[in-house]
Structure 1
Amino acid sequence: MKKIPFISVLVLAFTGCQPEENSPEIQSVSYPLYQTGEYAFDGTATFELREDAVVELLIQLNGVNSMDPYFYTGHLHFGSLDEEDATIAQLLSPIDSRTLQSRTVIGKLSNGNEPDFETLKNFDGHIKIHLADQGPDYDIILVSGNIGSNDTSLQNFNTNKIALCSPNYPE
């Protein structure tokens, strides 16, 4: 019977000394997305550098989620929020109204460039999330925010200066 406590102590000692598996630290940079219209949403856009050197954009909205499937349309644009006719750099994966999130692998942009993580940290751009992908609800922007080299502060966020974007994606 006296051997059981001794064996237990040995097992604990050896298992306690096992090296922990270190999960690699994920490099990321986040930008706020501000409520832009009458719907009570805000959120965060986070660029993450994965182990395979792929950059992924996570959109996480805060607000009331839906029990029914519905998808909001999102765009990564060139230029700041107040630029008229800001070109869409990349279409984002639809934001699911049930989870209020989406993930998009950032690949080749509409200008032909394929930005890496460091480039995206200083990108001259912004993000807009629309209520719908077409029709009158396309003109309703739920959230938006500057990213990269643009001013991302709430103090300089002005919904009166936000330009609507064209639903046309450059070929």
Structure 2
Amino acid sequence: MKKIPFIVSLLLAFAGCQQEEKLPEIAAVTYPLYQSADYAFEGTATFELKEDANVELLIQLDGVRSMDPYFYTAHLHFGSFDEADASIAQVLSPIDSRTLESRTQLGKLTDGKAIDFESLKNFDGHIKIHLADQGPDYDIILVSGNIGSNDTSLENFNSNKLALCSPSYPNY
């Protein structure tokens, strides 16, 4: 019976000597994506800093999922969502209509600059997700939203001011 307090003290001493295992901190910034057409979709764009210092973009939409495979075209653009002729900064991985998600490893942008997590916070840009990659449905933008240094609030968003983007990629 006298050994129990000794064993408890010994266990507490060993537990106090062990270093805590530190979990890697995950840096992320999330921006809202607003409904931009008659289709009931909205969502988020989350930029995550990975352990290898690369930035990954996770787009998650809320809306009706499809049972059939279909992919919505997505772009990261320079400038605000309401700027006409806003150049495409990077073509993003298409959003799968069955999961309403996509992941894109960001790399060099069309202007030749690489984007890192810190510069992303001040990036003058926006995201647009199109119903299709060509034809008349390309002009239907399901969701869009500003990112980085631009005003990302719902109060600032007006889908009537949304500028269409060109299907050509002049910077490629």
Identify whether the pair has TM-score above 0.5, normalized to the shorter chain.
yes
Tell me which amino acid in the other structure corresponds to 1:128.
Answer: K
Residues 80-119 of structure 1: pairs in structure 2 closer than 5 A: 80-119=80-119
Verify: 1:26 aligned to 2:17, yes or no: no
**How far apart, CA to CA, are the structure 1 residues paired with 2:19 and 2:71?**
44
CA shift, 1:33, in A, is 0.1
CA shift, 1:20, in A, is 6.4
Equivalent pairs counted in the alignment come to 161
Q: TM-score, normalised by structure 2?
A: 0.88
Residues 58-69 of structure 1: pairs in structure 2 closer than 5 A: 58-69=58-69
| Unmatched 5+ stretches in structure 2 | none
CA shift, 1:19, in A, is 6.6
| Unmatched 5+ stretches in structure 1 | 1-5
**How far apart, CA to CA, are the structure 1 residues paired with 2:76 and 2:85?**
13
Verify: 1:130 aligned to 2:130, yes or no: yes
Tell me which amino acid in the other structure corresponds to 2:149.
Answer: S
Question: Higher mean Cα deviation, 41-50 or 20-29?
Answer: 20-29
Residue matched to 2:54: 54
What secondary structure, in the 3-state scheme, does the structure 2 residue paired with 1:134 have?
coil
Q: TM-score, normalised by structure 1?
A: 0.88
Residue matched to 1:36: 36
**How far apart, CA to CA, are the structure 1 residues paired with 2:133 and 2:19?**
50
Q: Structure 1 runs of 4+ off > 6 angstroms?
A: none
**How far apart, CA to CA, are the structure 2 residues paired with 1:40 and 1:32?**
15
CA shift, 1:21, in A, is 4.6
How many percent of aligned residue pairs carry the same amino acid? 75
CA shift, 1:22, in A, is 3.9
**How far apart, CA to CA, are the structure 1 residues paired with 2:108 and 2:97?**
27
Residue matched to 1:3: none
CA shift, 1:24, in A, is 1.1
Tell me which amino acid in the other structure corresponds to 2:30.
Answer: S
